Amino acid sequence: MIKVNLRSQERYGGVLNAPHRAFLRSIGFSDEDIGKPLVAVVAAWSEAGPCNIHTLQLAVHVKEGVRRGGGSPLTVPTIVVNDNIGMGTEGMRYSLVSRDVIADTIEAQVNAHAFDGFVGIGGCDKTTPGILMAMARLNIPAVYLYGGTAEPGFYGNLKLTIEDVHEAIGAYLAGKITEDELYEIEKRAHPTYGTCAGMFTANTMAAIAEALGMALPGSASPPATSARRVMYAVESGVALMNAMELGIKPRDVMTYEAFENAITVLMAMGGSTNAILHLLAIAYEAGVKLTLDDFDRISRRTPYIASLRPGGDYVMADLDAVGGVPLVMLKLLKAGLLNGKVLTITGKTLEENLRNYKFPNVPHDHIVRDVSNPIKPWGGIRILKGSLAPEGAVIKVAATELMRFEGRARPFNSEEEAFQAIRRGEIKPGDVVVIRYEGPKGGPGMPEMLRVTAAIVGAGLGKDVALVTDGRFSGATRGLMVGHVAPEAAVGGPIAVVEDGDRVLIDVENGRLDLLVPEEEIKRRLKNWQPPPPRYTRGLLAKYASLVTSASMGAVTLPRL
Ligand code: FES
């Protein structure tokens, strides 16, 4: 029996807690079960998409591991908002919002039922950060388990991901492919359950959970359909009980140094820009002071070494075959770019985990290069600041060759307006599409602009048109795209007063995002600016808009005390 102070005993032990025990008995618990640590297996589960449809099955195996380790497990759910299905519609406004709802629902269930620890099973984009936020917030023993990536699809010799369907729409609208070809791509793009196949947000966050030390080594990359996922599910349950016995809590693992490691892995893998928001939010919950400047500093010193889509050629399942995230981490560790001394959820340091890891003996240079021979000498994401983004903005340089762009501003007050303008062929080479009022408060919920960016790329304008927005990008986005512009338009950031024809400068090397309009003119425009009425006055989106903070703070929701 694990010898730990069990908070569950305050709820279920002793004579006066008989009513609570009566309910546990009615779900099949024996006296022995009631005396053991009570463990929640939190499954972010939903049938409304392929990403998390199998997590209840994984929970069964996690429970087996918890029982092996001496605990009494119960499965509880949390929600999933599917990013791909919600995209480009009202649904997308709920995506980032769902991250905080997930953290809140876990807090509610785990605390209300006095669980002693939990394993969180995630998949789709917001589930992993939501679960990690809850782990950091509650700070009771916890282990993260990823549901796993989908396998890629095939169309002729082309390896497909969901990104190809979005870009096929742009190609179809531009008359480059037929409706039949679009239909064939649609049918083949996502052939199994599991998350989007490339190094988009879901796979990025899974890699980050591993790099932070909150998930078992190697557990991020096996496909959802792999038998190794079952193995990791059982082992995650065992690992949770081990962490409980050792007294390891999430904040012992999620230290500043662990966040530095996670950012390094993010940059080396060319991961999703969304990870910046999520890491800032998880760090906030963990009480770790992380800022946008940390991302820029680490990006400038970290080579981009993993050729993963959308910036490279391969998908998560390919990475899995050559050694998964541990292979990337080993290369970074050997180059002195990771801190190997940090504690992980296994009870061992990161260095020890990598030393014990069994790497497959297969060629891997085509997917993961050595640090001495990188794809690019710097990281996949940069932070820009300037007169258009005084608090900061984010650009994914892994997915573009362009490092400097000056163009004519074409401002739109919503993603939909911009999408229709591209559809009508109104966007021309040399334009900078500015999409505003889509930030955390204005959207609300910072919707992703994949529909617009895919339409730009699909129309063959990826090298000639830039996009600047206070909204977000999908991890699948390619091209010269600047997001997370802060302060956002809804709170009177300079992006609110960009006018048609203004010149905009994006200068990655110097970290600048400037509105090339005299400072006095920007001030004059801002003085005359009036905030538009909120898009929502009732329900979740209205509540969220009233509590959410800037993208430069991870768009966390803070109570108004
Ligand atoms: Fe769920 Fe891409 S939509 S991972």
* pLDDT tens-digit readout, 210-260: 999 999 999 999 999 999 999 999 999 999 999 999 999 999 999 999 999
Is residue 77 within 8 Å of residue 45, measured between CB atoms?
A: yes
Q: Is residue 376 part of a domain?
A: no
Residues in binding site for Mg(2+): 83, 125-126, 448
Claim to verify: residue 326 and residue 402 sit in the same structural domain? no
Please state, in angstroms and rounded to a whole number, the distance separating the CA atoms of residues 118 and 74.
9
Question: Which has the closest alpha carbon to 83: 93, 73, 71?
Answer: 93
Both tokens of residue 259? 């966040």
Q: What integer pLDDT is reported at residue 504 of this predicted model?
A: 98
175 contact partners, CB below 8 Å, separation of at least 6 = none
Q: Which atom of ligand 1 is nearest to the CA of 84?
A: 3
Which three-class secondary structure string do you get for 272-284? CCHHHHHHHHHHH
Rounded CA separation 149/412 (Å): 35
Residue 474 lies in a domain: yes
Please identify, among 356, 390, 411, the residue that sits at the C-terminal boundary of a domain.
356
Residues 142 and 182 in one domain: no
pLDDT band at 4 (very low <50, low <70, confident <90, very high): low
Residue of 248, 285, 345 lying closest to 107 (CA atoms): 285
pLDDT at 1 over 60: no
Kind of pairing between the strands at 38-44 and 117-122: parallel
- 3-state SS, residue 149: strand
Does 329 share its domain with 409?
Answer: no
CA distances for 551 relative to 149, 341, 393, 484, angstroms: 27, 31, 9, 6
Is the domain of 345 the same as that of 492? no
Q: Which is catalytic among the residues 72, 474, 550, 552?
A: 474
Mean confidence (pLDDT) of the chain: 94
pLDDT at 398 over 80: no
Q: How far is the CA of 49 from the centre of ligand 1 (A)?
A: 8
- Give the model's pLDDT for residue 399: 66
Q: Give the 3-state secondary structure of 483-550.
A: EEEECCHHHCCHHHHCCCCCEEEEECCCCEEEECCCHHHHHHHHHHCCCCCCCCCCHHHHHHHHHECC
Nearest ligand 1 atom to the CA of 50 is 1
Judge whether 202 lies within some domain: yes
**Whether residue 173 is found in the same domain as residue 292:** no
What CATH number corresponds to the domain at position 497?
Answer: 3.50.30.80
373 in any annotated domain: no
124 and 20 both lie in a single domain: yes
The tens digit of pLDDT for each residue in 266-317 reads 999 999 999 999 999 999 999 999 999 999 999 999 999 999 998 899 999 9
Residue 166: give the domain boundaries: 156-191
474 has catalytic annotation: yes
Cα-flanking dihedrals φ and ψ of residue 238, to 5°? -65, -45
CA distance 329 to 264: 9
Residues 542 and 501 placed together within one structural domain of the fold: yes
Distances 148 to 90, 99, 208, 221 between C-alpha atoms, Å? 27, 18, 14, 7
Judge whether residue 394 has pLDDT over 70: yes
- Asked if residue 350 and residue 232 are part of one domain, the reply reads yes
Q: How far apart are CA 265 and CA 221, in angstroms?
A: 14
Q: What is the 3-state secondary structure (H, E, C) of 36-105?
A: CCEEEEEEECCCCCCCCCCHHHHHHHHHHHHHHCCCEEEEEEECCCCHHHHCCCHHHHHHHHHHHHHHHH
In this structure, the dihedral spanned by the alpha carbons of residues 228, 230, 235 and 236, taken in order and rounded to 10 degrees, is: 110
pLDDT band at 88 (very low <50, low <70, confident <90, very high): low
Q: What pTM did the predictor assign? A: 0.95
Q: Does one domain contain both 170 and 308?
A: no
pLDDT digits (tens, 9 = 90+) for 323-380: 999 999 999 999 999 999 999 999 999 999 999 999 999 999 999 999 999 999 998 8
* CA atoms of 56 and 244, how far apart (whole Å): 23
The residue ranking higher by pLDDT, 149 or 460, is 149
Residue written as tokens 């490279």? 312
* 389/495 Cα distance (integer angstroms): 7
Which pLDDT score is estimated for 397? 83
Q: Which residues line ligand 1 (CB under 6 A)?
A: 49, 51, 82-84, 124-125, 195-196, 200, 202
The pair of three-digit structure tokens given for residue 473, joined into one six-digit string? 């990008």
Distance from the CA of 205 to the center of ligand 1, in angstroms?
11
Atom of ligand 1 nearest to the CA of 123: 4
Task: Give pLDDT, residue 561.
Answer: 77
The pick from 83, 190, 474 for probing ligand 1's pocket by mutation, whose C-beta has the most ligand atoms within 8 angstroms, reads 83
pLDDT for 445-464, tens place per residue? 998 887 788 888 878 887 89
CATH number of the structural domain spanning residue 217: 3.40.50.2300
| Residue 375 in domain | no
Residues 318 and 348 in one domain: yes
Is 238 inside a domain boundary? Answer: yes
Q: Tokens 């908070």, residue? A: 7
- Which of 195, 278, 309 to mutate for ligand 1's pocket (most ligand atoms within 8 Å of CB)? 195
**Residue 515 Cα to ligand 1 middle (Å):** 34
Q: Retrieve residue 284's tokens.
A: 């906030």
Within a domain: residue 445?
A: yes
Please report the atom of ligand 1 found closest to the CA of residue 195: 4
If asked whether residues 329 and 183 sit together in one domain, one would say no
pLDDT higher than threshold 90 for residue 2: no
Q: So what's the pLDDT on residue 89?
A: 61
Answer with the one of 294, 322, 356 that is the final residue of a domain.
356
Q: Complex ipTM, two decimals?
A: 0.99
Residues 154, 188: contact at Cβ < 8 Å? Answer: yes
Q: Is residue 524 part of a domain?
A: yes
Q: Is the pLDDT score of 41 beyond 80?
A: yes
| Distance (Å) from CA 203 to ligand 1 centroid | 9
User: How buried is 261 (Cβ within 10 angstroms: 0-12 exposed, 13-18 middle, 19+ buried)?
Assistant: buried
Q: Are 109 and 84 in contact (CB under 8 A)?
A: no
Partners of 544 in the β-ladder: none
Ligand 1: which of 128, 196, 278 to mutate, most ligand atoms within 8 Å of CB?
Answer: 196
Same domain assignment for residues 230 and 329: yes
Q: Could you list the residues known to form a binding site for [2Fe-2S] cluster, using ranges.
A: 51
Ligand 1 center from residue 129 Cα (angstroms): 13
Q: Please give the distance, rounded to the nearest whole angstrom, from the Cα atom of residue 371 to the centre of ligand 1.
A: 30
Cα–Cα dist 33/137, whole Å: 27
Q: Which atom in ligand 1 lies closest to the alpha carbon of residue 475? A: 2
Pairing type for strands 431-435 and 466-469 reads parallel
Check: CB of residue 404 under 8 Å from CB of residue 427: no
Total tally of structural domains belonging to the chain: 3
CA of 541 to the centre of ligand 1 (A): 21
Token representation of residue 56: 């209840």
Residue 103 has pLDDT above 80, yes or no: yes
Residue among 51, 87, 192, 309 to mutate when testing ligand 1 (max atoms within 8 A of CB): 51
Domain finish residue from 140, 169, 191? 191
Look at 108-112, 156-160, 305-309, 543-547 and tell me which has the smallest mean pLDDT.
Answer: 156-160
CA distance 421 to 66: 54
Q: For residue 475, give the nearest of 188, 298, 295, 277 by alpha carbon.
A: 277
Binding residues: 51, 83, 125-126, 448
Closest residue CA from atom 2 of ligand 1: 196
The whole-angstrom separation of Cα 373 and Cα 363 is 15
Residue 381 scores a pLDDT above 60: yes
Ligand 1 nearest-atom number relative to CA 125? 4
Buried b / exposed e along 192-207 (16+ C-beta atoms within 10 A): bbbbbbbbbbbbbbbb
Q: What average pLDDT does range 80-101 have in this prediction?
A: 86
